Amino acid sequence: MENLKKLVGIKAAEYVKSGMTVGLGTGSTAAFFVDELGRRVREEGLDIIGVTTSNVTSQQAASLNIPLKSIDEVDSVDLTVDGADEIDAALNGIKGGGAALLMEKIVATYSKDYIWIVDESKLSETLGSFKVPVEVIPYGSEQLFRKFEAAGYAPAWRMKGDKKLITDMQHYIIDLHIEKIVEPEKLAKELDLTVGVVEHGLFNGMVKKVIVAGQTGVRLIEK
C-alpha cells in the first residue's frame, strides 16, 4: 500500500514545473508528493512556492526547504495535488480523514488545476463507505450533533485520545455515517445551509484528474 501511495505521489510531481505556485495536500499519500517536490527542490533546483493545506504539511514542507506562502499571499494556485478518502464514478469525493478538509477545500477552490492521488481501494461506485466529516463551530455543536442523530446520519465525534479533536482552524469534526450517498449534491447543499457547519468533506465536481495506483500500475482518470 505504501508503495502504491509513493508511486502516485511521484507521478503527480511530474506535473509540477519551476515557476508554479503549488497547493500541497495533506495525508499519507500527499506526503509522498511533498517529499518528491522536496527532493527536486534540493537536487534539481525546482523553483516553486508551496501553499499548504494543514499544519502537518506546513511542517513537512518547511523541513524540506520548500518556500511557502499562505493562500492569502498568492494571486492564485497553479496546481494542487491532494489525496482523497473515497471517490465515486463521477469523480465526486469525500475528504477529511486527516481532519484537513477546510484548508484543503479553500486551497482547491483557488487552484487552476487540481489532482487527486489515490490507491485503487479509494474508488467506489457510490460514496458512503467512508464517513462524511463535517467541521463545526464548537458553540452549539451538541445541538447540531443531536440534529444529525435525528436525521438518521449516525454522527460520531472525531476524537483525539479521550478528547474531541480540534482542527487546525480550532473547530470540531462530526463524522456522518450515511451508507449510500446517492445524491451527494443534495447532501452538500443541506450541510452548506446548516448553521454551525463551517465546511464538510464532500468535494463534488471539484476534481478533473485522478491518478490511481493499483496492482497493474498507475493510470490517469480524466473527466
Ligand X SMILES: O=C[C@H](O)[C@H](O)[C@H](O)COP(=O)(O)O
Stretches 99-107, 149-157, 173-181, 184-192: which one binds ligand X (CB under 6 A)?
A: 99-107
Shortest spacing between CB 25 and ligand X, in angstroms: 5
Smallest CA-to-CA distance from 151 within 131, 133, 173, 177 is with 177
- Which helix (H) or strand (E) segment is 198 a member of? strand 197-200
99 near ligand X, rule: CB under 6 A: yes
52 near ligand X, rule: CB under 6 A: no
DSSP 59-95: HHHHHTT--B--GGGSS-EEEEEE--SEE-TTS-EE-
Shortest spacing between CB 161 and ligand X, in angstroms: 18
Residue number with the smallest Cβ distance to ligand X: 27
Q: Site size for ligand X, by CB under 6 A?
A: 18
Shortest spacing between CB 164 and ligand X, in angstroms: 16
Q: Are 12 and 115 in contact (CB under 8 A)?
A: yes
40 near ligand X, rule: CB under 6 A: no
The Cα–Cα gap between 37 and 135 comes to: 29
List residues with catalytic annotation.
104
Bridge partners of residue 111, in order along the sequence: 77
Complex with ligand X: residue 83 or 155, whichever CB lies closer: 83
Rg of the Cα trace of the chain? Answer: 17
212 near ligand X, rule: CB under 6 A: no
Q: Are 88 and 124 in contact (CB under 8 A)?
A: yes
26 near ligand X, rule: CB under 6 A: yes
Is 54 part of any known ligand binding site? Answer: no
Stretches 44-52, 94-102, 164-172, 173-181: which one binds ligand X (CB under 6 A)?
A: 94-102
Q: 13-34: string of b/e by CB count within 10 Å (b at 16+)?
A: bebbeeebbbbbbbbebbbbbb
Complex with ligand X: residue 29 or 92, whichever CB lies closer: 29
Binding residues: 26-29, 82-85, 95-98, 122
Contacts to ligand X by CB under 6 A: 25-30, 82-85, 95-101, 104
